[in-house]
Amino acid sequence: MFRANYKYKRTFIGNIPKGSDLYEAISTIALHEDIRIGKLTAIGAVTEAVIGFYDQNKNEYLKIHLSSEHEILQCSGNISLKDGKPFVHAHIILSNKDGSVFGGHLMNGTKVFACELVIDEYGGEDLKREKDNSTNLFLWKDKNLI
Ligand code: ZN
| Amino acid 92: pLDDT | 98
Ligand 1 centroid–CA 105 distance in Å is 4
**Beta bridge partners of residue 76, listed in sequence order:** 41, 91
- The whole-angstrom separation of Cα 44 and Cα 72 is 5
What would the pLDDT profile of 106-142 be if each residue is shown by its tens digit?
Answer: 999 999 999 999 999 999 999 999 999 999 999 998 8
Ligand 1 centroid–CA 62 distance in Å is 12
pLDDT of 146 higher than 90? no
pTM of the model: 0.95
What would the pLDDT profile of 9-20 be if each residue is shown by its tens digit?
Answer: 999 999 999 999
pLDDT of 1 higher than 70? no
Residue 76: in which H helix or E strand, if any? Answer: strand 70-82
- The whole-angstrom separation of Cα 91 and Cα 76 is 6
- The whole-angstrom separation of Cα 28 and Cα 24 is 6
**CA angle, 102 as apex, 98 and 103 as ends, to 5°?**
155
What would the pLDDT profile of 36-95 be if each residue is shown by its tens digit?
Answer: 999 999 999 999 999 999 999 999 999 999 999 999 999 999 999 999 999 999 999 999
Ligand 1 centroid–CA 110 distance in Å is 15
Ligand 1 centroid–CA 23 distance in Å is 12
Ligand 1 centroid–CA 58 distance in Å is 15
